[in-house]
């Protein structure tokens, strides 16, 4: 750090990091302030309190919304992980008529924006009674065309000799995928799982359309409506935001390297 240029780079990066991190700090500081202090601009709460958190947790159905989000994100992630990796494997490693057409058809669905689908999904959900059900919230996300594309790329790298050896040993076709191919692409699968989970955990457009009662709300929908009704109780709004953000940041702190490297792993191949 003797070089003044390098020192300047550190300084600039530090200043940028403070700007980027400030909203998180302000959220936490506001969540810890009692209502009487909330309109006071001091950076450190004079009388920090956890009362806002207890109020959000007891007065709203926050724990229920958290649970709903957990259920929705966990099931969609498991489904995407299983089906996308299976399709990716079949398209990369098995020979059969129609393979190219099927792959192009799946790829083509990537170009359709979600906004275009929500209206037909809503019409469909009304017809089949899926409105305001877990299935209704989840069904659009049970498979991902991007995931199929991604896994197929990685499956292509699995050596055919490995599969042939398995066939010699009498491994079933499903076993070849599950026991031999799948363990080979673990990093790509982990990245796909993380991003699918995050995407569903944060999803807002479709859930806000399909959910109609307070009990079925996912976390983002619950927070949006709670905050909209809380008026100027910013201490409570910030406490509910903090309760939604902190678990995600906690997970991010642990999986930081995999998440960021997952972007490089997956993003650059597309």
Partner 1 sequence: MGLGTRRALWAYTFLLVPLLFFLTIRLAPAFSALYISLHEWNIISPSKPFVGLQNFRLLAHDPSFGRAAVNTLRYVLVGIPAQIALGLVLALALQRINRFRGLFRALYFMPFVTPIVAAAWVWQWMYSQNFGPLNGLLAELRLPLQPFLRSPAQSLYAVTAMTVWQFLGFQVVIFLAGLEAIPRVYYEAAAVDGASGWRLFRHMTVPLLNPTLVFSAVYGTIVYLQLFTQVLNMTFGDQGGPLASTLTMVLYVYQLGFQRFKMGEAAAATAVLFAVILVITLLQMRVLSKPVEY
Q: Which of residues 154-193 bind partner 1 (CB under 8 A)?
A: 173-174, 177
Q: How far is the CB of 219 from partner 1 (least distance, A)?
A: 7
Alpha carbon distance 2, 211 (integer Å)? 59
> With binding defined as CB under 8 A, does residue 216 bind partner 1?
no
Q: Which stretch binds partner 1 (CB under 8 A): 45-53, 54-62, 152-160, 249-257?
A: 249-257
In the list 73, 81, 138, 148, the residue contacting partner 1 (rule: CB under 8 A) is 148
In the list 32, 73, 81, 87, the residue contacting partner 1 (rule: CB under 8 A) is 87
What Å distances lie between residue 61 and 31, 96, 226, 252, CA to CA?
A: 18, 51, 10, 25
Q: How far is the CB of 26 from partner 1 (least distance, A)?
A: 6
Segment 26-55, which members bind partner 1 (CB under 8 A)? Answer: 26-27, 30, 38-39, 41
Q: Are 202 and 218 in contact (CB under 8 A)?
A: no
* Count of CB atoms situated within 10 Å of the CB of 171: 16
> The tokens of 259 are what?
């998440």
Alpha carbon distance 100, 94 (integer Å)? 12
Q: Which stretch binds partner 1 (CB under 8 A): 15-23, 58-66, 149-157, 184-192?
A: 15-23
> With binding defined as CB under 8 A, does residue 205 bind partner 1?
yes
> With binding defined as CB under 8 A, does residue 57 bind partner 1?
no
Q: Looking at beta carbons only, is 122 or 134 nearer to partner 1?
A: 122
> With binding defined as CB under 8 A, does residue 74 bind partner 1?
no
- Number of residues engaging partner 1 in binding (CB under 8 A): 89
Distance between terminal CA atoms of the chain?
38
DSSP 139: G
Q: How far is the CB of 141 from partner 1 (least distance, A)?
A: 9
In the list 2, 4, 20, 161, the residue contacting partner 1 (rule: CB under 8 A) is 20
> With binding defined as CB under 8 A, does residue 149 bind partner 1?
no
Segment 97-126, which members bind partner 1 (CB under 8 A)? Answer: 97, 99, 102, 105-106, 108-109, 111-124, 126
Q: How many residues are recorded in the chain?
A: 270
Burial class (CB in 10 A: 0-12, 13-18, 19+), 41: exposed
Alpha carbon distance 156, 152 (integer Å)? 6
> With binding defined as CB under 8 A, does residue 135 bind partner 1?
no
Q: Answer positive or negative: Cα dihedral of 118, 121, 125, 130.
A: negative
Q: Are 217 and 225 in contact (CB under 8 A)?
A: yes
In the list 140, 149, 152, 166, the residue contacting partner 1 (rule: CB under 8 A) is 140
> CB neighbours of 155 closer than 8 A, spacing ≥ 6?
85, 88, 89, 91, 92, 93, 181, 185
Q: How far is the CB of 50 from partner 1 (least distance, A)?
A: 18
> The tokens of 21 are what?
């991190």
Q: Looking at beta carbons only, is 180 or 221 nearer to partner 1?
A: 221
């Amino acid at each position: 750090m003797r070089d003044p240029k390098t020192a300047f780079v550190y300084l600039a990066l530090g200043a940028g990091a403070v700007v980027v991190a400030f909203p998180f700090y302000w959220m936490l500081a506001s969540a810890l302030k009692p209502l009487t202090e909330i309109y006071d601009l001091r950076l450190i709460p004079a009388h920090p309190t956890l009362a806002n958190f207890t109020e959000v947790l007891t007065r709203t159905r926050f724990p229920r919304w958290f649970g709903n989000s957990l259920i929705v994100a966990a099931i969609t992630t498991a489904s995407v992980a299983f089906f996308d990796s299976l399709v990716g494997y079949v398209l990369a490693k098995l020979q059969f008529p129609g393979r190219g057409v099927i792959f192009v058809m799946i790829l083509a669905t990537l170009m359709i924006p979600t906004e275009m689908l929500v209206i037909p999904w809503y019409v469909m959900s009304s017809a089949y009674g899926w409105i305001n059900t877990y299935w209704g919230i989840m069904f659009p996300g049970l498979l991902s065309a991007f995931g199929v594309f991604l896994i197929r790329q990685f499956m292509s790298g699995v050596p055919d000799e490995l599969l042939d050896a398995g066939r010699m040993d009498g491994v079933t076709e499903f076993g070849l995928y599950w026991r031999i191919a799948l363990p080979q692409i673990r990093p790509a699968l982990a990245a796909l799982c993380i991003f699918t989970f995050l995407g569903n955990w944060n999803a807002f457009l479709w859930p806000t359309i399909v959910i109609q009662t307070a009990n079925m709300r996912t976390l983002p929908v619950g927070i949006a409506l709670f905050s909209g009704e809380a008026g100027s109780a910013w201490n409570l709004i910030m406490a509910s935001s903090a309760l939604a953000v902190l678990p995600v940041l906690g997970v991010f702190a642990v999986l930081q390297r995999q998440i960021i490297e997952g972007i490089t792993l997956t993003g650059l191949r597309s």
